[in-house]
Amino acid sequence: MRPATRLLALLVALFGADGAGASEIALSARDLGGVVTGDRGPEAGVWVIAETTDLPTRFAKIVVTDELGRFVIPDLPHASYQVWVRGYGLVDSPKVGSEPGRRLSLKAVTAPSEKAAAAYYPGVYWYSMLQIPNAGEFPGTGEKGNGIAETMKDQHYWIDTLKNGCQSCHALGSRGIREIPEAFRKSGSSFAAWARRTQAGQAMEYMARVLGRFGAEKALKLFADWTDRIAAGELPFARPERPKGVERNVVVSVWDWSSPTYYLHDAISTDKRHPTVNANGLIWGSTEESTDLIPTLDPVKNVAATVRHPYRDPHTPSAVDLPHAESAYWGTQAIWDGHTSIHNLMMDEAGRVWFTARIRPAANPDFCKAASGFASAQVAPLAESARQLSMYDPAAKQWHLIDTCFTTHHLYFGHDADQTLWTSAGSPVSGVVGWLNTRLYLQTHDEAKAQGWTPLVVDANGNGQRDEYVQAGQPLDPEKDMRVMAAFYGVMPSPVDDSIWGQSMDAGFSGVGQPGYLVRLTPGSDPARTALAEIYQPPAGAFGPRGLDVDLNGVAWTALSSGHLASFDRRRCTGPLNGPGTAEGKQCPEGWTLYRFPGPQFKGVSNSGSADHAYYVWVDRYDTLGLGANVPIATTNGGEALLALVDGSLVSLRVPYPRVFFTKNVDGRIDDPKAGWKGRGLWTTSGTRANFHGEGGKGAYPKVYKFQMRPDPLAH
């Protein structure tokens, strides 16, 4: 008899095949606990879900069983719950009604077929079945050649576009994507159905641009082939593993908020620099194009509410006016009505909430132009800004709308006396980095004097200062510096010095032919005129940086569309970091370390990476989760998990319910530093543009998620 079989026989002897060991589990009056057993005895590493609609908003809590199939769902609000089991190799067990304080013996249900089991796999296992054009088909030769756009110079541009152009907004592996809705099947062929579905809804203009980057006909054929194979019965070629080790210690709480027609981009709970700010307070969300109603959640009272974000100019564009065609879910209804396009939000040390938000039409005021005499405008005049800034003071219930010449996307506070708010522009080619001196703004409310921006200039002549520079794309001049026509997507002030780190998207697929970079910006005494940038490309075999954070050692972290979590440690560089040899950003490959995401890789693509994709990365500097300080966490929306790097190994914290977990940010808060694991946790929200593609369909609400790590699966 094998060791595993002997162990299973021993467990059945001790606890009984019917889970009688539930009586051995210690519970409080606020806990649910018990044992899960299947056909062969205790079921280890499966999820137990308790959900209620008795509270002001729908609430669920999810835990993982230990090696004996035991579980404890701790600290449940008083309510009646439906409890069931979900896990790999299973289908959902019948739901059992219960209340806190009860012990349960739950029966797991073995999946009757491989197809039934695969319905519960994370999306990456399904979308890794997509065929990627062979490396030999690149560069593309256009419509009259192989159908791949001529701007696609090599295979990595295709993969980067798939992940950062498609998967970053929609969960490609979800049932709502991998199966074609009946409304689209009526179009005729699968090719026609995909052409139709990529014109549906208010995102059709963006989807058309992305298809054009691939070469629309080629991309539609490959998407159609993928869904045809699935409809014919083809299943994922790889299978996920059940949670193991410390992964079984996670507790996930889930609340509904906002509305089924809206979608969320980010959520915030505290100040990253001071994670005890706003203890037990409201969670705030950003709703991008979908609505001006900012959702809030009171996690103590379980109450979801909204606050309306104002805008300054009545002519501010609305998402209602976006071109759209009939949706398979919503017909001709324009479900998004947002003017403010709230992309990202941050909280300061006083609990004020700052947003990147649109407050007016795009045309900039006069102070943004060179004739104004404003220093930044003289260096880099700006004609338009797609999104600006705002701030809400919850204590005073007061809004501040802040016009900026530069476009904003993400934002983070610096560590300086001016509490400088550094922003990213999002677009890979906008060419400037902007900031707001919040101390000056709060004192004077003078939005013009409090802001500034600078182009990204590399010290190409190597003299240690910023001089006259050649424009991007021009030949190097040994006497001059060089401008990089890039901009930050991710942004993060360093906690160890005055540098500002940014991450620029790979712009190769857009025809610019420029790779993605990590960027280190040193502002200097007069940033508009003195700021210098260093640029760093990922090493050979890796590509597509997205998202950025910097740990307490000054190490920069990013996620790569090649399927890696990556760190860059500038202290390890052995060669010069300025001069003509650094103008391409290929210096210091020794500064990079790559960690492959788990899960399958696309067939025919290098196995050094993974098909999985992370939208962003966040460093838990102060152990707000419980896996240790300075732990980087990637939001892998293909793997439907938070992926934490602990002591060199990746820990996957997957959310199995509702399918599909898809998030774009993480935020950690300490509510009570003396309460152990119960006093801390990570907060995030669902980030897909189409919640209706996942479990629950049109009735699915956006979610708030709280992650906590207890010392073992039975802690309560």
**pLDDT tens, position by position, 406-419:** 999 999 999 999 99
**pLDDT at residue 621 greater than cutoff 90:** yes
How sure is the predictor about 508, in pLDDT bands with cuts at 50, 70 and 90? Answer: low
Has residue 608 got a pLDDT over 50? Answer: yes
For residue 426, what pLDDT is reported?
A: 87
Mean pLDDT lowest for which of 2-6, 235-239, 374-378?
Answer: 2-6
Please give the Cα distance from 487 to 160 (Å, whole number): 18
* Rounded CA separation 163/177 (Å): 14
Strands 517-522 and 500-504: antiparallel
Q: Is 606's pLDDT higher than 90?
A: no
> What pLDDT, in 10s, does the model give residues 95-138?
999 999 999 999 999 999 999 999 999 999 999 999 999 999 99
Would you state the pLDDT for residue 24? 78
Q: Where does the pLDDT of residue 187 fall: very low under 50, low under 70, confident under 90, or very high at 90 and above?
A: confident
pLDDT of residue 105: 97
Average pLDDT over residues 441-449: 97
Asked if residue 245 has pLDDT above 70, the reply is yes
Amino acid at 342: I
Q: Which residues of 216-245 are buried (b: 16+ CB within 10 A; e: fewer)?
A: bebbbbbbbbbbeebeeeebbeeebebbee
**Mean pLDDT within 570-579:** 96
Pseudo-torsion of CA 392, 393, 396, 402, nearest 10°? -50
Name the pLDDT band for 10 (thresholds 50, 70, 90). Answer: very low
- In order, the DSSP letters of 490-526 are EEEE-SSSS-EEEEE---GGGTS----EEEEEE--SS
675's tokens = 């309460």
Which pLDDT belongs to residue 500? 98
Q: What is the pLDDT of residues 72-104, one digit of tens each?
A: 999 999 999 999 999 999 999 999 999 999 999
The yes-or-no verdict on residue 6 having pLDDT over 60 is no
Q: Quote the CA–CA distance of 48 and 52 in Å, as a whole number.
A: 14
**pLDDT score for 33:** 98
> Is there a contact between 712 and 74 (Cβ–Cβ < 8 Å)?
no
Q: What is the set of domains in the chain, with CATH numbers? A: 3-109 (2.60.40.1120), 123-231 (no CATH), 361-596 (no CATH)
- pTM equals 0.95
Predicted local confidence at residue 412, as pLDDT: 98
Map residue 427 onto helix, strand or coil.
Answer: coil
The residue-averaged pLDDT of 187-204 equals 93
Q: What is the DSSP letter of 166?
A: I
Does pLDDT of 19 surpass 60?
A: no
Q: Are the C-beta atoms of 640 and 122 separated by less than 8 Å?
A: yes
> If you average pLDDT over every residue of the chain, what do you get?
94
pLDDT band at 509 (very low <50, low <70, confident <90, very high): low
Does residue 315 surpass a pLDDT of 90? Answer: yes
pLDDT mean over 682-686: 98
Contact 636, 656 (CB under 8 A): no
Average pLDDT over residues 294-322: 97
The answer on pLDDT for 429 being more than 90 is: no
CB atoms within 10 A of CB 648: 7
pLDDT of 507: 73
pLDDT at 18: 38
Long-range contacts of the stretch 7-11 (C-beta < 8 A, 24+): 8/40, 8/41, 8/42, 11/41, 11/42, 11/68, 11/69
Higher pLDDT, 323 or 514: 323
> Across residues 532-540, what is the average pLDDT?
96
How does DSSP classify residue 469? Answer: E
Which candidate, 355, 313, 330, places its Cα nearest to that of 203? 330
Percent of the chain exceeding pLDDT 70 equals 96
Q: Fill in the DSSP letter of residue 274.
A: B
Q: Does residue 716 surpass a pLDDT of 90? A: no
The half-sphere exposure of 672 on its side-chain side, counting CA atoms within 13 A, is: 7
